Chains A and B, each alone.
Chain A
Amino acid sequence: MANDLNIIGKPFRKVDARAKCVGQTKFADDIVLPRMLFCKMLRSHLPHALIKSIDVSKALALPGVFAVVTGKDFPIPYGILPVSQDEHALCIDKVRFIGDPVAAVAAIDEDVAFDAMNLIEVEYEPLDTVSSIDEAVLIDEPRIHDYGDHGNVHKKVSLEFGNVEDGFAEADLVREDVFFYEGNTHLPLEQHAAVAHFDSDGKITLWSSTQTPHYVHRALAKVLGLPASHIRVIATPNGGGFGGKSDPFNHEVVVCKLSMLTGRPVKVTLTREEVFYCHRGRHPVLMKVKTGVKNDGAITAMHFQSFLDGGAYGSYGVASTFYTGALQTVTYDVPRYKFQGLRAFTNKAPCGPKRGHGTPQPRYALEVHLDKIAEQLGLDPVEIRRNHLVAPNTVTANYLRIGSMGLGTCIDKVVEGSRWKERFSWDQSNRKLPFGKGIGIACSSYICGAGLPIYWNNMPQSGVQLRLDRQGGVCVMCGSTDIGQGSDSILAYIVAEILGIDPFDIRVVTADTDLTPVDLGSYSSRVTLMTGNAAIQAAERARELLVMAVAEKLSVPIENLSLAERRVFDVENPDVSVSFAEAVVLAESKFGTIGTVGSYTPPRSPGKFKGSGVGPSPAYSYSAAVAEVDVNPDTGIVVVERVWMAHDIGRSINPMLVMGQVEGSVYMGLGEILMEEMAYRENRNVVHKFPSLLEYKSPTTMEMCDVKTYLVEDPDPNGPYGAKEVGQGPLLPVPPAVANAVYNAVGVRIDEVPITPEKVLRALKDKSRGRTGRFGPGSVPSVDWPDPLRVLTPAEGGDGSEMPRVAVHS
């Protein structure tokens, strides 16, 4: 089949690449409308306080100011998840973190808006703050929110698949480790921006730098009190997203309201500092993992606990919490598994989904933990992984259905490429590499789209509409949002493949709620798989109409017709043909105007228990990485010299774009393990340490490592042409591979991300004094966990339902 493909698998340029290289791509802040006003938002300088009064009179009196709004203009709450409708566009009675917005102005220009913002007088009554997971668990009052599990605990979950105690009893070794993964942020180079225009028909259009126009549409309909059909959301090309533009944001709601009040277009462009306050980035997570293993490394049971510092709002946090416990089971066989997770509210910028959503933290913990187990058992870190892989086409203990599984091949590739066997040894006294040089391995997996939508319903998660015109023009419309990953191009490649035309013949219209069928958005690595399948369906339906009309015209059996090189021809006699444009004319003459649709709904998950909604996916991608590091024992500086990365992509729709995603993922993982920290001052003011691009350290060209990439193609039956995801998965093994390599280099364990020079030096000093040579957290908070929801595993004959809670009779 592969040989029959003309477009799929070829390194075509992206359909929007030229515009991006000549400065013609219109990002949100590039939109300028006549009579447009500018919005500035006044944000709280206190981390936790009651709002006693707001006086906007001086701001309103400033010449050039057209409107000022406060929380009372936005009484209806919203939020991305149905269970966390806890945000107001502007705070009503209290502020919950530094940066929480309390008022907004619309003025003739940005300078006037800025001055007006500073004329707004807010009287606050400060409240005690909650600044860490430990504090949130201990401090019940004051509560940051009046909902959630209790006190400042937002959510607790407890699930057990099989009996882990039985598993630990069978084990030859039971090991327990504690890890901390600091929060970090997306840092897209484009700051969020939005333009709202309330037009003369009483309808509103919002252009916004968002990854999820559909959810913004929903939130606006709820908050603005307009019918959804009177609201149009257009996602502009995102100047980087990485998950940071996936929530409906207060500034989007505010500019809509200001436009409705003033009758003029209103633009907001956040400053870089404000982007740090929008955040929704990687949760800081404290983790404890306990695993029982046989002497050969086979896992008998695993118990994983995670504690998430959620920041001030719910955002995606409930899903993030489940994700910290969902994917431990999909790489190596885990026959019994228990997960307990807790998300805390704190007075910090809210956390949410960042590339890998909730899974890089546990993956780091798991892969370092496994390394320690391997050393304890005297096993090679490669073998402990390679010998116990989850089998393809199986269902895990927590009811995730695995399809294709190329991790074994991935491991083989990076082991061979890195010359692992010649270079790795546990024995520090008989090193194969000089002291200070080390290699480490880690593996991972990621979902290709969430099996369930955020709002549970029976409708497709992705829709595609195709329009063919009599000039041979093809327009593909889809709600998906291109955030740089190439989702617009994927649509063009797939439609071009099926219709036998050139991808650049196709007009792609996306991310416009008036024009395009719903696609849920660019998150959870869902876009290629879901829009790809929808595009295949729409294009095959159009192809069907074309070949029926052409077959009649040419008197050729339908099954003899093929579409390629802008022609429809008889495969047995290629000279018998019509051009693609002629084929459309024939079809339009026969059937009328040619338009088709396609849609995609993921298969049902086998899990039926409460909490089974997070983790299922149509397919899982797999990655294996080996990192090579140089650690300077005098300075503690870690230089990652090279990463070998093998990624099981299923099939590359465009290998060049896949390579770009792999390299970008390695880069982002490198930033997380070495330097990136969304950190706050360790006093009770909960001030962000460095909300700027200079001080928030991210890798430049000077820190980026060499990457040796292998693409493993093991087509998955659920993927379009077998394709799986690549945008997020290859980030996951990078932090633990580097951490394991650091240990190999200098013999210290840094069980806390990022691995900064200070931590390495402290661990080395500790070791030189005869101690363990470990830097990391010592324990997790003591928590009253609810009784776990118990589910029999498939191996135990379970059907995916939770077991009835048995009453204890006295």
Chain B
Amino acid sequence: MPRYSKKHISFRLNGEQTEVAFAPHKTLLEVLREDLNLTGTKHGCELGECGTCAILVDGRSILSCLMLGLDAEGRDVKTIEGMASGAELHPLQQTFADLGAAQCGYCSPGFLLVAEELLKKSPNPARAEIQEALSGNLCRCTGYIKIYEAVELAAARMRGEEVELPKESIYGLD
């Protein structure tokens, strides 16, 4: 039977004040997935190697597999479930979906939140800056290119610019 008495924390989760009790050795990743049923946050290694479990804590991206749940006390946590505004997708979610930046989709939550952090700091990032910002997230499907394009298109839309994706990104070169 469970051998640990649960500990209780209170924190902000996707904009809502949240209370939860869990075994004290659990990582925030486990607390989110197992105790709060927010399974949108994924795991790829649980050793801090792949970026799949990235979430935002107080606006900064962290690997939830390396943070104890107890350390979330009083913090402001955002997961993929809190990225859209109601039914309206975040521009990054929209472009990731529309451009095929999510193939299997397993790494997408981590990429989306890290990209959101990037665009807050840098609304018009160069390609190299995007690569640098996303270098801690592994994707095995896309070769990252559609992800860059999705970030660039979302950034442009968030700046209020009307842009189209270059034709060769969708149809290839002539």
Contacts and interface: CB of A to CB of B under 8 A. Distances in A.
Nearest to A109: B2
A121 B137 CA distance: 39
B126 interface: no
A27 B173 CA distance: 35
Given A655-B171, A698-B138, A23 B146 contact: no
Contact of B80 (A23, A239, A271, A667): A23
Given A26-B39, A663-B142, A21 B108 contact: yes
- Majority secondary structure, B binding face: loop
B102 interface: yes
Interface stretch (B69-77, B92-100, B155-163): B92-100
Interface band, chain A: 35 or more
B28 to A, nearest CB: 15
B29 to A, nearest CB: 12
Given A16-B105, A702-B131, A707 B143 contact: yes
B140 A20 contact: no
Contact of A17 (B44, B45, B102, B145): B102
A704 B132 CA distance: 12
Contacts of A109: 2
A710 B173 contact: yes
Nearest to A413: B173
B79 A23 contact: yes
3 nearest interchain CB pairs? A23-B40, A20-B105, A484-B104
B103 interface: yes
A24 B40 contact: yes
Most chain A beta-carbon neighbours within 10 Å: one of B37, B103, B112: B103
Contact of A21 (B49, B97, B145, B169): B97
A18 interface: yes
Most chain A beta-carbon neighbours within 10 Å: one of B37, B144, B148, B174: B144
Given A21-B93, A21-B97, A711-B172, 10 more contacts: A14-B100, A30-B33, A189-B138, A191-B44, A484-B103, A486-B103, A655-B170, A659-B146, A701-B135, A704-B144
A667 B104 contact: no
A659 B104 contact: no
A124 to B, nearest CB: 28
Interface of A: 11, 13-14, 16-27, 29-30, 32, 63-64, 108-109, 111-112, 186-191, 237-242, 271-272, 413, 417, 483-486, 652, 655-657, 659-660, 662-668, 692-694, 698, 700-702, 704, 707-711
A271 B105 contact: no
Nearest to A669: B143
A742 B96 CA distance: 35
Contact of A702 (B135, B141, B146): B135
B44 to A, nearest CB: 4
B81 interface: yes
Interface of B: 1-3, 23, 33, 37-47, 49-50, 52, 79-81, 83-84, 89, 93-94, 96-100, 102-109, 112, 130-132, 134-146, 148, 168-174
A700 B40 contact: no
A701 to B, nearest CB: 4
A17 to B, nearest CB: 4
Contacts of A694: 45, 47, 49
Nearest to A64: B1
B142 A667 contact: yes
Contact of A660 (B33, B89, B103): B103
B77 to A, nearest CB: 14
Contact of B42 (A24, A63, A239): A239
Contacts of A692: 45, 47, 49
A663 B143 contact: yes
A692 B174 CA distance: 41
A711 B46 CA distance: 39
Most chain A beta-carbon neighbours within 10 Å: one of B93, B104, B107, B168: B104
A772 B1 CA distance: 67
Contacts of A659: 100, 146, 169-172
Given A21-B112, A698-B138, A700-B135, A237 B146 contact: no
Contacts of B130: 701
A659 to B, nearest CB: 6
Contacts of A660: 100, 103, 141-142, 146
Contact of A188 (B3, B104, B143, B148): B104
B52 A189 contact: yes
A186 B23 CA distance: 34
A13 B79 CA distance: 23
Contacts of B143: 663-668, 704, 707
B170 A668 contact: no
Contacts of B52: 189
A553 B48 CA distance: 65
B172 to A, nearest CB: 4
A240 B104 CA distance: 6
29 contacts: A11-B170, A13-B100, A17-B96, A19-B105, A21-B89, A21-B97, A22-B81, A27-B39, A64-B1, A108-B1, A111-B2, A188-B106, A189-B44, A189-B106, A191-B43, A239-B42, A239-B104, A272-B47, A413-B173, A484-B141, A485-B103, A486-B100, A656-B99, A659-B171, A660-B141, A692-B45, A693-B49, A698-B140, A704-B131
A22 B40 contact: yes
A21 B96 contact: yes
A663 B145 contact: yes
B173 A17 contact: no
A575 B168 CA distance: 38
B92 to A, nearest CB: 8
Contact of A22 (B80, B104, B142): B80
A711 B47 CA distance: 39
A401 to B, nearest CB: 28
A22 B139 CA distance: 17
Contacts of A710: 172-174
A690 to B, nearest CB: 11
Most chain A beta-carbon neighbours within 10 Å: one of B3, B46, B100: B100
Most chain B beta-carbon neighbours within 10 Å: one of A27, A701, A708: A701
A15 to B, nearest CB: 10
A83 to B, nearest CB: 31
Contacts of B1: 63-64, 108, 112
Nearest to A63: B1
A17 B98 contact: yes
A362 B44 CA distance: 31
Contacts of B79: 23
A21 B105 contact: yes
Given A17-B97, A22-B83, A272-B47, A189 B104 contact: yes
Most chain A beta-carbon neighbours within 10 Å: one of B43, B81, B107: B43
Contacts of B109: 23
Nearest to A660: B100
A662 B168 CA distance: 13
B39 A272 contact: no
Contacts of B135: 700-702
A701 B140 contact: no
Most chain B beta-carbon neighbours within 10 Å: one of A32, A692, A704, A707: A704
A25 B105 contact: yes
A189 B170 contact: no
Contacts of A23: 38-41, 79-81, 83, 109
A701 B107 contact: no
A663 B144 CA distance: 8
Nearest to A188: B140
Nearest to B34: A32
Nearest to B139: A189
Most chain B beta-carbon neighbours within 10 Å: one of A19, A22, A186, A663: A22
A178 to B, nearest CB: 31
Contacts of A186: 140
Most chain A beta-carbon neighbours within 10 Å: one of B2, B52, B143, B173: B143
A693 B47 CA distance: 9
